[in-house]
């Protein structure tokens, strides 16, 4: 499922950005252009981080940004921004990978999130993604962690085999 959400069209490769807000906006841009999210979803993600702090930095080098399900989300989607130089979300919260999660409800994204968690649990995967020069390199890593295991009690992602 993860490979159905993070695709060549939803990966952005940049060397650096000047501020974490810029990183969130740039990471969201593919989803906005594809009309999977509305602009106010981006503003909601930024506002939540301003209010609650950098809780989105879940592991060294990685932030997963999101807002309330359905709030400006037209379709379940994810995007990924890879930065060569880290951006600071707060002191000691240096991030190279910003993943935007846009959920339409409280459960349809859980399988992809589980696959993403499995991928990010290995530091070598994070480093490979940071060092990647092309989206296809990142997609190959994602494909290794994307499978068709159904989470008990939750429906499969539409279109998955």
Q: Which of these is catalytic: 19, 40, 61, 66? A: 66
Token output for 10: 């939803």
Of the chain, the end-to-end C-alpha distance in Å amounts to 10
Residue with tokens 């650096």: 16
Tell me if 160 sits within 8 A of 4, measured CB to CB: yes
Can you list the pairs that 115-118 forms with residues at least 24 positions away whose Cβ atoms lie under 8 Å? 115/1, 115/2, 115/145, 115/146, 115/147, 116/2, 116/64, 116/78, 116/145, 118/145
66 is catalytic: yes
Return d(Cα 90, Cα 71) in angstroms, integer: 26
Catalytic residue positions, numbered: 66
């Amino acid at each position: 499922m993860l490979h159905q959400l993070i695709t060549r069209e939803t990966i952005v490769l940049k060397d650096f950005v000047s501020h974490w807000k810029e990183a969130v906006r740039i990471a969201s841009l593919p989803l906005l252009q594809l009309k999977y999210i509305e602009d106010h979803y981006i503003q909601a993600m930024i506002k939540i981080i301003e209010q609650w702090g950098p809780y989105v930095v879940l592991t060294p080098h990685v932030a997963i940004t999101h807002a309330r399900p359905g709030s400006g989300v037209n379709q379940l989607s994810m995007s990924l921004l890879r930065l060569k130089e880290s951006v600071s979300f707060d002191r000691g919260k240096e991030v190279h990978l910003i993943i935007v999660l846009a959920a339409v409800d409280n459960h349809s994204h859980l399988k992809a999130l589980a696959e993403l968690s499995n991928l990010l649990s290995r530091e070598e995967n994070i480093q490979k993604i940071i060092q990647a020069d092309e989206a296809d390199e990142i997609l190959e890593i994602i494909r290794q962690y994307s499978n068709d295991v159904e989470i008990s009690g939750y429906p499969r992602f539409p279109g998955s085999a």
